[in-house]
Amino acid sequence: AQSVAQPEDQVNVAEGNPLTVKCTYSVSGNPYLFWYVQYPNRGLQFLLKYITGDNLVKGSYGFEAEFNKSQTSFHLKKPSALVSDSALYFCAVRDALYGNNRLAFGKGNQVVVIP
């Protein structure tokens, strides 16, 4: 079964500094990877995905993520964080080979951008 680990509960970063949110995954086959963001009192919003091709994926709001197969990681990055980036971020994975019709989510990372 597929699974995702987001090792940090909270990430604090100063406004203007680079932001990284870590994600590692476990699948039997090839992974399909997603990042979502959740603002207070709202549902999750899609940021970006990796299916195949370029390891560096660009998404919404200036975010990007790098797929690293050898490290089984898909870390989310933003070169310069904004206060408005403060939110809860979820990584998710689906196993492409043994696709059991399910998407597994991590527990989420709270990002706090300090003005």
3 state SS of 61? helix
Of residues 28 through 47, those in contact with other proteins by CB under 8 A are 32, 34, 36, 41-46
Q: How far is the CB of 15 from other proteins (least distance, A)?
A: 26
Stretch of residues binding other proteins (CB under 8 A), selected from 18-26, 61-69, 76-84, 100-108: 100-108
Separation CA 6–CA 10 (nearest Å):
10
| CB neighbour list of residue 69: distance below 8 Å, 6 or more residues apart | none
Residue at token pair 């990042």: 35
Site of interaction with other proteins (CB under 8 A): 6, 9, 32, 34, 36, 41-46, 49, 51, 90, 94, 99, 101-103, 105-108
